[in-house]
Structure formats: structure tokens, C-alpha cells
Chains A and B, each alone.
Chain A
Amino acid sequence: MGRYVIRRLLQMIPVFIGSTFLIFFMVYALGDPVAALFGDKAPDPATAARIRKDLYLDQPLWKQYLHYMGQIFQGDFGTAFNGQPVTELMASAFPVTLRLTLVAIVIEVIVGITLGVISGLRRGRTVDTTVLVLTLVVISVPTFVTGYLLQFLFGVKWGWVRPTVSGEVAFGELILPGIVLALVSLAYVTRLSRTSIAENVKADYVRTAVAKGLPRRRVITRHLLRNSLIPVVTFIGTDIGALMGGAIVTERIFNIHGVGYQLYQGILRNNSPTVVGFVTILVIVFLLANLLVDLLYAVLDPRIRYA
């Protein structure tokens, strides 16, 4: 187990370097960001040259990348154009998005798995069909549509909640955006757990458990659910990263100043330190979530061993 974890952690290094280089290269390919700093006016050449020098933009790409990586290992992620260190932006953005992700994941897990279990156990009946149709609808409607729609209904028309999230980002305010963010993944979780449950319900060990006279509740939670969760856990694990990076739309709609917002601004302004810095952290989140998922397999199914 220990050796497995170490091996996995070592494997992360090339993935990390490769992905940061790709992102760096892509942002670089967008072009020189300095001209845009001056708005409609022509950049003053001397000032622009100094800004380029300060941002290391006057060097060839590979040198810029090496310089940037050197900085990162010293914990310095560079400076955004508004003069704020990127680490400061991260410190304000990641907790916000983390909170939003947490709300979304909780909704996803509780609602998704419950619905999945219910429809899986009643395969082919009305409940099952209804859930399948509903999830299909949810999957096919883009997030911005559900986002604006729910915001309009709950926030503007009925006035139940504030349509936007305030600067404090309290958990209560995040429920509606959390639902919007979770909705698509929730549908997948439901469908995955439904299929898995429907398959396993006919398995020998379930029949044995029932034959032993165990209560139905215990059969479902301890035996059926535990074995059916592996594909679901895989999905949720990768979803953590996807939700954190993919919250751009939701964050825009509800005016949440999280990772999505900073990334959007960074891309719009060609601000490579912001974009690469944030994506780097997201890559790490992805990698760790994947590792966590793999380790969870062993908890769910003791037959899985790591060496």
C-alpha cells in the first residue's frame, strides 16, 4: 500500500510537468498580453518594454517556462496585472469554489445515490422510468439554461433567495448555485448507481444475504450498495476536479468570485501567471482526487489489493 502510494505520487511529476507546459504554451500562443493593458490607446513603447521585461515576456518561450517553474517551486506564482500576487488570488478564490464544490458534491451524492438505489431496485417500473426520463432531460439541458432559469424563478420571480451570491459566500447562499452545478453530474451518478444496483441485485451474495434472513435495510446498505459503489466513486472522484474547473458558467451566473471567475478573467486578459497558476492547482487536485479514488476501491472491496 505504502509503496503503491509513493509510486503513484512519483508518477504525478511527469504528468504535472507535461500539463503545465501545455497550458503555458497555449496561453503563450494567445499572444502578447501587454498591448491589451493599454485599452484602445497605443502602448507607450518604453513602458511596454519595461512591463514585458518585468513579466519575463521578452525571453524565449522555454526560458519563460523554466523561470516560471523555478518560481513555482519557491511558492511564487507570479503577479496578476492588477498588481495582486496570484497566490493571493488563489487564497481568495479556491476556498470559495471549494465550498461551492462541496455543496454540489453533497447534493450529488445524497440525491444521486438515493435516486439511483430507488430506481435500480424497481427496475422497469414507473419510478424507474420517471427517473430515467428526468435524468435524460437534465443531461441534455446546458448548465447556463438551468442556471439562468432557476435564478430567474427563485431569485427574481418568487424572490425566495437573492439571485446572486454576496461577498461573504455563506453556505446558505450556495444551495441554489450548488444545485445548478451538481445537476448534470447528479444525473450521471443516478444512472450509474441505478445500473450497478440493478446488476448486483441478482448476484449470489445478495441472494445469500437475503437467505440468511438479514434485514432488507442491511442487505441494501452493507452488501448491495457497497459493492455497487465502485463505478460511482470513480465518477465522483474525477468529478471533484471537473466541478472545480468547470464552475465557470455557474460562477458567472451567480456572481461568485471563485476559480472559474479568475480563470475567465485570466484568459480574457491573456494573463498567463493567473491561468497557468490556477490550472496547475487544478491539475494537482485532479491527480490527488484520482489517487484517493483508487485507494477508496480497497475500502469498498477488500479483494482489491495494492502492491
Chain B
Amino acid sequence: MRGATHAKWAACAVAVALAATACGGGGSDGGGGESGIVSSSWGDPQNPLEPANTNEVQGGKVLDMIFRGLKRYDPKTGAAVNMVAEKIDTTDSQNFTVTLKDGWKFSNDEPVTAQSFVDAWNYGADVRNKQNNSPFFSDIVGYENLHPASGEPKTKTMSGLVVKDAKTFTVALKSKFSTWPETLGYQAFSPLPKAFFTDHAGWLSKPIGNGPYTVDSYTKGTAMNLRKWDGYTGEDKAQNGGVDLRVYTDNNTAYTDLISGNLDLVDDIPAQQLKNVANDLGDRYINQPALIIQTLTFPLYDPQWGKEGMEKVRRGISMAINRDEITKQIFRDTRTPAKDWTSPALGEDGGFNATLCGDACVFNPTEAKKLIQEAGGLPGGKMTLTSNVDTGSHRDWMDAVCNSVNNALGEGPVCTVNPVGTFADFRNQQSAFKLTGPFRSGWQADYPLIQNFLEPLYYTGASSNYGKFSNPEFDKLVDQANQESDTAKATATFQDAEKILAEQMPAIPLWYQNGSAGHSERISDVALNQFSVPVYNAIKVS
């Protein structure tokens, strides 16, 4: 009897101790605890985590959790809906008045005001801060003063931004840009708290935002633990207790962890595992379109490729590529054969049109051979495909495309592959305009707008127009579309411009890239948004 009591006491003590340690490890919020936490794979962000300096998925993932801007893209439809903005008014598509909603604050209790936006945007545009996303502010009047092409800026603010009161500010753009408010869902336009400017290093080591999560701890290069912020007043509150992001050196390893139950969510299924994924995960595998397209751009600055009449050859090469076969065999349907120059994630209303490329995007080797021969054959009788080969199975698909072209032409191995070791090296060759054959160009849109798929890539002199395509008619249509205040009309005009691409074929649309993810049985309601980032706040933990 006595012994039994002792045992009971010991058992109770152990239970209490266990409970205590569990609480200690489970984070500070009362609701979640370790059991309500989602663990997810992550990659080391390439740049310091600042809204205007983050232009890749891994950093964007965090920003999407800790920030809410004026607008946010609906994860399902891609439509830009108001978040912090009450309304954005304009009468001339050039001068905008932004009014903020009440009640928004940062997780350090500082209210989100008009000043929070204006300061953040001025910081992002200032060349002294070396922010990658500076050009996003270039439409605003006064950008040149803060971001001169050379020399020191004279001011610290853009004259186009004026704070009227705590809840209102006005924006003056350099020219008409009817869809400008729709671009404000991009994370570069996030507001910043005062702490960002007063203690920058401290902020970087533990970012403070106004989103549904707060950063609990951040070990650079290893992990970031985010917890649900109970003070969040927005409608999209976190449905889980928090998210633990773990940096994986290799997505194969992350996948192994998912399979063995150590990880809840992987948002990038490695190519080697795609053949097992249906078996391993069943309906816990997600494969859906994202705002990413891969194209093969021609160096039109090279007279051989750019001269009159070569559009026939370019169209012929496009017809010689068996997109269906390649996306099935190499990418296991995580890519969709492209039928225009945008992405299905835009939706039909947004400007996606599966008929735009027409015959030119349909595999037809006989017609391809005919077209190319009519126009005098490949320049110099051969062509070379160039891409970096450090990621993305680029080597495999380039080999496949070349095989496809060689088979269609039947003149022996006229198409060869030029593999470049690193992305950085490839980018250098590309931006120095040194390539003499078609090269890969991937494009991930910043916002779900057809404008973003066309203007930066094919407008004369545009920043990412690496083939130096130039067509006055195309430019005219883009300008027209930007001035058009009726969204449907603007989209239609953009599509008219796109038809010129179908004729001229400055870049061959290859395929749309899907987001692919897998998750454990513990969590549900997992979805990817148009940027192939998981919608973390909607995930439920059972």
C-alpha cells in the first residue's frame, strides 16, 4: 500500500514535469502550442529580409506571413483585394489618393499610418539602400531624384508621395497607368514600422510586420519560427498556432523528412521524386499552375537571327518542339505545354488565352521543316541552346528540345546544347548580349497582370528584354493598354499586342511552370497561391 502511494506520487511528478517542459517548448501563445505548429521546408533567402529587397520565393514566403500591404492577391483568384487600403481613388489614372482602414497596427503596437507606407516606399526607392526592387517605385514622380542613374541622390523623399493625414496619402505617377493600384499587392509595397529605420540591424535579425504572424526566433541559415499573432485584426487570421520554417540544403532531404513524418509541408517536390509522389502522398500532392513561364528567347540583336524573314525560321523551330512529350517525360506533368506568352494562373479574365500562339505552338515536324527550309534554313546551318544547368532539369529538357529539332529537320545534329555551370554566369552572358543562339528565359510574374508578362520582356528597351525585340506596333499597343481605364479593354489591347509576338516569335513559349507541394496527414487546407507559395495562414492542424 505504502509502495503504491510512492509510485503514484512519482508518476504525478513525472507527468507534471513533462507537461512543464512541453509548455516551455511550445511557444508563448496560449492557443497553439507545439501541437498546432506547422513545420515547413525553407531555403535560405538570397538577400537580407527587407520588403523592397526580396525578389525570390523563399524570402517572399516570410514576407507573406508577416506583412499585409494596401492590397493582397486573393490566393485563389489572383484578384487584388483591399487589405490595409480602404480605397484607392483616381480620376485620371495618374494621380491616386490612398485612404487606409482603421485599426491596423504592427505587432509592436505601432499603428499603420500613411507615413508607414510613404517612408517604406522612399526607403525602397533610395539608391543608397541598394534595394533590388527599387524599379517598382520608378513610376512615381520624383523617383529619379532618389534613384539617379549615377551620382548621389539629393533628397530622401519622392515628391510624388504626399502624406495628407494619418490615414491618407496621395501618389502622383509620371504617366497614366490604369492598373497601377493592382500592382500594390506586391510585397515591395509593404509598410514599415519606425523600428525598421531606428534599429535596422535589430529589425533584420527579428523582423516586425503587420501580418497574421510574428517572428518568434530567427537563426539565419537554419530556421525561422513564426507564431500566430493574437493582436492581428485582419480578416485572414492564422488558422494554426504558427509555422516553423526549416532550411533544407537539398529538397530531396526535405522530401525524405516529409515521408518519414518529420516535416509537414514541402513546397518544392524534387524532380527525381516525381515518379514516386503519387504513391507516397496520394491526394496530399498538390500540382497547380503558377505565374511562371519558361521561354526560349532569340538573340534578335544578332543580325543572323534578327534579319527580315527570320520569323519563319523562329516559328518553324517552335513547331519542331514536342512540348507534350517533354513535359510528360521529363517534368512528369509539373509543366504544362505553353499556348501563349502569359500563364493560366492569370485566368481567362486576366488575359490568359490558350489560342493565341495557335499552330506555332503545336508540334508539327513536317510543317516545321518546310517553314525553316523556305526561309533559308538555320543561320549557318546550326543552332545552340544556352541555359544554366545547376537547377531545374534544364540540361534534360534542352537535350530533348534539340533532339526534337534534329529529328524534325533530319539534317543530323544541327542543334546542340551549351550548358552554363551557374545561374550567375548565365545571367552575365545573357545581360551582356553575348549569346548567339536561342537561350532560356524564365519569368515569374510579380503580380497577376498580363502587363507584367509582356511589357518588361518585349517592350523596346525594357529591362528584361534580353533578346532586344523591338516592334513599334507592339509598343504602341502596350502604351494604349496602360492608358485604358477599363480593365477588360486594357486586357484585350494587351492581347492584341501579344498577337504580334505570335507572328514575330521573338521568344518561343515552352511551358508554364506549376507549383508542386506535398504535405503530411497532420495538416489540411493546404493550397498554393499564384506565386507557388503555400497559403500558410489557411492551413489547419488536426
Q: Which residues of A approach B to under 8 Å, CB–CB?
A: 30-33, 35-47, 49-51, 54, 81-84, 88-89, 92, 148, 151-152, 155-156, 159, 162-164, 167, 251-257, 261-262, 264-265, 267-270
Contacts and interface: CB of A to CB of B under 8 A. Distances in A.
A255 B44 contact: no
21 contacts: A31-B425, A36-B422, A37-B132, A40-B443, A41-B55, A41-B463, A44-B132, A44-B134, A46-B150, A47-B131, A54-B130, A81-B46, A164-B253, A167-B219, A167-B223, A167-B246, A251-B249, A254-B253, A256-B249, A268-B422, A269-B46
Contacts, number: 144
Interface string B12-53: 000000000000000000000000000000001111100000
B134 A37 contact: no
A31 B220 contact: no
B253 A38 contact: no
A-B residue pairs, 5 tightest by C-beta: A36-B424, A83-B48, A42-B463, A35-B427, A270-B424
Contacts of A51: 130
A152 B260 CA distance: 9
Given A45-B149, A164-B256, A167-B219, A83 B204 contact: yes
Contacts of A82: 44-48, 220-221
B175 interface: no
Given A31-B424, A31-B425, A45-B149, A151 B256 contact: yes
B234 interface: no
Nearest to B446: A41
Nearest to B150: A46
Nearest to B425: A31
Contacts of A35: 424, 427-428, 431
B442 A163 contact: no
Contacts of A159: 260
B46 A30 contact: no
Given A46-B147, A167-B222, A257-B247, 12 more contacts: A30-B421, A31-B425, A31-B428, A36-B422, A36-B427, A40-B464, A82-B45, A83-B47, A155-B256, A163-B256, A164-B253, A252-B250
B249 A252 contact: yes
A38 B390 contact: no
User: Max chain B CB contacts within 10 Å: which of A33, A42, A43, A270?
Assistant: A42
A223 to B, nearest CB: 47
Contacts of B223: 167
B441 A253 contact: no
A162 to B, nearest CB: 6
A163 B254 CA distance: 10
Contacts of B44: 82, 265
A142 to B, nearest CB: 15
A167 B428 CA distance: 35
A270 B45 CA distance: 15
Interface string B250-266: 10111011011010000
B431 A42 contact: yes
User: Max chain A CB contacts within 10 Å: which of B46, B134, B259?
Assistant: B46
Given A33-B424, A159-B260, A255 B47 contact: no
A54 B219 CA distance: 25
Contacts of B252: 148, 253
Given A30-B424, A257-B247, A156 B260 contact: yes
